[in-house]
Copies of this chain bind each other. A is one copy, B any other.
């Protein structure tokens, strides 16, 4: 199971769930058309509130990662991400900015950061071209 919730994290639980699903899609563990666990079962499994899982699913739907089908639950739906890639790049840059600032301040060379990127790409089995 790829679900590991850190209840003491400052990252909201529903965000951790969302990230977990996205990571599952990225790694290939979840493919287009696959069903996600029901809100109820995922909530039980992760020991979180029903509403929290619901919030994660709603977010994933609004981002275009999944469809929520009446009586069929949530299914993975790649290839129709709502946000365009241009906006994604903006967000990435905004997210990365403080990290790189701190890296530079600490004297951490660019290569060290790139190595972490590579590591993550490899773990996810993504192409490393």
Among A1-59, those with CB < 8 Å from B are: 7-8, 12-13, 19, 22-23, 25-27
Number of copies: 4
Given A106-B81, A110-B127, A8-B93 contact (CB < 8 Å): no
CA A92 – CA B98 in complex, angstroms?
Answer: 10
Hey, which chain B residues are within 8 Å of A72, CB to CB?
7
Name A's B-contacting residues (CB within 8 A).
7-8, 12-13, 19, 22-23, 25-27, 62, 65, 67-70, 72, 77-78, 81, 85, 88-89, 92-93, 95-106, 108-114, 116-121, 124, 126-129
Q: Which 7 pairs across A and B sit closest by C-beta, in order of nearness?
A: A26-B104, A104-B126, A8-B67, A100-B120, A26-B101, A19-B98, A23-B101
